[in-house]
C-alpha cells in the first residue's frame, strides 16, 4: 500500500531538516569529536596572530621614543660648546644603547659614537646561530604572511657614510621634527633609524639601534602561547579519544549487537545491558535490551498464537468436513439431521472462535491507541449488571454487588475494554456456578489502587493451574457443558486489557476457606 500524502510530506520535511547536518554525516563520531575539540584549540592559536600586532605596537612605540630621544640629543648638542660634543654624544650613546652619528651641514660625518667607545650593539650573523633560531625566524615569516603584514625592508649600511645616503636625514632636513623608520637586521630583528636636523642648520644627527629586545619579548610570548596550545591540544586529543572510547565504542558495540539480534535466530542473542553505566549510554543500552526482549517476546507470542489458532481451527474444520462427507453417504433422514446439527455447531464454533481471535489480536493495538479517561468502576459495573439482567445472561445465578460511593472507585482507562474484562469474568463465574449459586462483586479503594473482587461458588481453580487459566486457548469447562461453546480466550483477553491499564489480575483463595474461584483485579487509582 502506497503511503498517503501526509506521510510523504512528513518524511520530506524530516529529510529537509536533516540537510543542515548532512555534510557531517560522512564523518564518524570520533572524527567529529576530534574536529570540535581541535577547532577550539585553533581559536586559541589565534593568539599567535595577535602577538604580531603586539610586535607592531612595540615597534611603533620604539620609533616614537627614538624621535623624542633624538630631539633631546639635538637640542643638547646645540646648547654646548664644540669641545663638549664628543663626550656628550658618547654619554648619550651609552645611555640609549644606540649609535649616534653627527654630520656637518655639508653631509660629512664628523662624530661617530662607535669610534669614541666600544660599539653597544652588533648585528648577528644568522649562519652562526643554532637551529632553533632558524625555526623562530621561519615561524615569524609564516605568521607575517598569514596575517598579510606589510613587508619591512632590510637594513643596509651605506658604503659611503654621508648624510645624503640616509633617507631619514634627507627627509629631516626640511622638517623641524625628527624622522624615523624601521628595517630588519640580517637576523630579522628590528633596526630603529631616526634622523634630526640640528637647530640653525648646524648639521644633522642620526640614531641607529638594534631593538633585539622587541623580538626577544615577542618570541618569548609566542613560545608561551605555543606551549599552552601544545598542552591544550594534547589534553584535548586525549579527552577526545577518551570520549570516543566511552561514547563511540559502546554505541558501536550496541549497533553490532542490534545487528546480531536482527540477523540471529536464537533467543540467546541479546543486546548488552551495561549495568555499570549510569549515564545516557547505559540508559540507551538497557532501553534497547528491553526493547529487543519485548520484540522477541512479541514475536514468540505471535508465533505461538498463530500455532494455537491453527490448532484450534483445525478441530472444528475436521469435524465439519467429516459431517459434510457423511451427508453424501447417509440416506437416513434422522442421521442426516444429526450430521447437519453437528455441522451447524461447528460453523457457530468457528465463527465464535474467529471473533474471539480477532478481539484477542486487536486488543494490544487498540489499547495503544486508546485515549484513557476517568471511569467510575461502581457505575460501570452497575450498568453492566443491569444489562445482563435484561438479557437473562446470568442463567439463574444470583449476583451480589456492593456498589461503592460515587467517584470513590475511579480509574483512568478505556470504558469499553474494562467492561469487556468484567463481562468475561462474570461469564466465567456464571458458567462455573451451580444453579441458584451466588456471585459476589466488590470494588474498594486501597491506597493508590482500586481493588475489584469477583468470587463464585464453583469448584475453584487449583493453585498449580492459576497461571495457566490466563493463557490463550486454555479451556477448563464445567461438567455438562457442551464442547466448543468457549474459545478459551476470555481470561487471556481480560489479562491483556488489565495489564494494558497498568494493572494486575490474579486468582486467590476465597476468604474463610470457602469453595470457588476468587479473582482480584488491581488498577491504578485516577488522580484527584
Each residue of 198-221: pLDDT tens digit?
887 788 999 999 999 888 888 888
The pLDDT value recorded for residue 1 is 41
Q: Considering the entire predicted model, what is its pTM?
A: 0.47
H or E, element range at 50 = helix 46-79
When mean pLDDT is compared across 126-135, 156-165, 302-311, 428-437, the lowest value belongs to 302-311
Spatial separation of the C-alpha atoms in residues 67 and 71, rounded to whole Å: 6
In a 13 Å sphere around the CA of 406, the CA atoms on its Cβ side amount to 0
Q: Which residue has the higher pLDDT, 117 or 307?
A: 117
Q: pLDDT-derived band of residue 18, with 50, 70 and 90 as boundaries?
A: very low
Spatial separation of the C-alpha atoms in residues 137 and 131, rounded to whole Å: 10
H or E, element range at 517 = none
**Are 487 and 473 contacting, i.e. CB atoms less than 8 angstroms apart?**
yes
Instruction: Compute the average pLDDT of residues 41-64.
Output: 80
**What is 372-528's CATH topology?**
Heat Shock Protein 90 (3.30.565)
Question: Rounded to the nearest 5 degrees, what angle is found at the Cα of 234, between the Cα atoms of 233 and 239?
Answer: 95
CATH superfamily of 46-210: PAS domain (3.30.450.20)
Domain boundaries defined on the chain: 5-44+224-261, 46-210, 262-296, 372-528
The pLDDT value recorded for residue 406 is 84
The pLDDT value recorded for residue 62 is 92
DSSP string, 252-313: HHHHHHHHHHHH---TT------TT--SHHHHHHHHHHHHHHHHHHHHHHHHHHHHHHHHHH
Instruction: Compute the average pLDDT of residues 439-443.
Output: 91
Question: Rounded to the nearest 5 degrees, what angle is found at the Cα of 349, between the Cα atoms of 347 and 350?
Answer: 65
Please give the share of the chain, as a percent, with pLDDT higher than 70. 85
When mean pLDDT is compared across 186-200, 249-263, 402-416, 456-470, the lowest value belongs to 249-263
pLDDT exceeds cutoff 60 at 15: no
Cα separations (Å) of 306 from 314, 353, 358, 378?
12, 13, 12, 37
Residues 272-319 have pLDDT tens digits of 777 777 777 778 888 888 888 877 777 777 777 677 667 667 767 877
Q: Which residues in 69-213 belong to E strands, given as ranges?
A: 99-103, 109-112, 179-184, 190-197, 204-210
Q: Which residue has the higher pLDDT, 506 or 316?
A: 506
pLDDT exceeds cutoff 60 at 20: no
**Are 194 and 179 contacting, i.e. CB atoms less than 8 angstroms apart?**
yes
Instruction: Compute the average pLDDT of residues 330-356.
Output: 78
The pLDDT value recorded for residue 404 is 87
Amino acid at each position: 500500500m502506497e503511503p498517503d500524502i501526509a506521510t510523504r510530506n512528513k518524511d520530506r520535511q524530516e529529510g529537509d531538516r536533516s540537510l543542515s547536518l548532512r555534510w557531517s554525516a560522512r564523518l564518524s563520531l570520533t572524527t567529529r569529536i576530534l574536529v570540535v575539540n581541535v577547532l577550539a584549540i585553533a581559536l586559541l592559536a589565534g593568539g599567535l596572530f595577535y602577538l604580531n600586532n603586539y610586535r607592531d605596537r612595540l615597534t611603533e612605540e620604539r620609533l616614537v621614543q627614538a624621535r623624542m630621544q633624538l630631539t633631546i640629543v639635538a637640542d643638547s648638542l646645540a646648547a654646548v660648546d664644540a669641545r663638549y660634543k664628543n663626550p656628550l654624544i658618547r654619554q648619550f650613546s651609552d645611555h640609549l644603547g644606540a649609535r649616534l652619528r653627527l654630520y656637518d651641514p655639508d653631509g660629512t660625518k664628523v662624530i661617530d659614537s662607535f669610534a669614541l667607545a666600544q660599539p653597544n650593539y652588533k648585528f648577528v650573523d644568522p649562519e652562526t646561530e643554532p637551529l632553533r633560531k632558524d625555526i623562530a625566524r621561519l615561524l615569524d615569516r609564516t605568521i607575517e604572511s598569514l596575517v598579510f603584514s606589510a613587508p619591512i625592508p632590510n637594513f643596509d649600511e651605506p658604503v659611503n657614510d654621508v648624510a645624503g645616503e640616509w633617507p631619514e636625514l634627507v627627509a629631516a632636513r626640511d622638517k623641524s621634527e625628527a624622522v624615523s623608520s624601521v628595517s630588519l637586521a640580517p637576523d630579522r630583528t628590528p633596526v630603529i633609524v631616526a634622523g634630526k636636523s640640528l637647530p640653525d642648520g648646524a648639521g644633522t644627527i642620526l640614531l641607529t639601534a638594534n631593538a633585539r629586545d622587541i623580538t626577544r619579548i615577542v618570541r618569548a610570548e609566542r613560545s608561551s602561547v605555543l606551549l599552552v596550545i601544545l598542552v591544550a591540544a594534547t589534553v584535548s586529543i586525549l579527552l577526545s579519544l577518551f570520549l570516543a572510547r566511552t561514547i563511540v565504542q559502546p554505541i558501536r558495540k550496541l549497533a553490532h549487537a542490534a545487528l546480531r539480534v536482527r540477523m540471529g535466530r536464537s533467543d540467546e542473542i541479546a543486546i548488552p545491558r551495561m549495568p555499570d553505566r549510569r549515564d545516557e549510554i547505559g540508559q540507551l543500552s538497557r532501553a534497547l535490551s528491553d526493547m529487543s526482549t519485548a520484540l522477541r517476546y512479541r514475536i514468540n507470542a505471535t508465533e505461538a498464537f498463530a500455532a494455537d489458532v491453527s490448532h484450534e481451527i483445525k478441530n472444528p474444520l475436521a469435524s465439519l468436513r467429516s459431517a459434510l462427507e457423511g451427508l453424501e453417504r447417509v440416506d437416513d433422514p434422522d442421521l442426516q439431521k444429526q450430521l447437519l446439527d453437528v455441522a451447524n455447531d461447528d460453523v457457530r464454533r468457528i465463527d465464535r472462535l474467529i471473533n474471539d481471535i480477532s478481539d484477542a489480536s486487536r486488543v494490544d493495538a487498540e489499547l495503544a491507541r486508546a485515549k484513557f479517561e476517568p471511569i467510575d468502576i461502581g457505575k460501570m459495573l452497575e450498568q453492566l449488571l443491569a444489562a445482563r439482567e435484561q438479557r437473562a445472561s446470568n442463567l439463574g445465578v444470583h449476583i451480589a454487588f456492593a456498589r461503592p460511593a460515587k467517584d470513590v472507585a475511579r480509574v483512568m482507562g478505556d470504558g469499553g475494554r474494562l467492561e469487556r474484562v468484567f463481562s468475561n469474568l462474570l461469564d466465567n463465574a456464571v458458567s462455573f456456578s451451580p444453579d441458584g449459586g451466588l456471585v459476589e462483586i466488590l470494588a474498594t479503594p486501597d491506597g493508590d489502587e482500586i481493588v475489584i473482587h469477583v468470587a463464585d461458588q464453583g469448584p475453584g481453580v487449583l493453585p498449580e493451574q492459576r497461571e495457566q487459566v490466563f493463557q490463550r486457548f486454555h479451556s477448563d469447562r464445567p461438567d455438562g457443558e457442551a464442547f466448543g461453546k468457549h474459545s478459551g480466550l476470555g481470561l487471556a483477553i481480560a489479562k491483556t486489557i488489565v495489564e494494558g491499564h497498568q494493572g494486575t489480575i490474579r486468582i486467590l483463595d476465597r476468604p474463610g476457606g470457602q469453595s470457588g474461584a476468587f479473582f482480584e483485579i488491581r488498577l491504578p487509582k485516577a488522580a484527584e
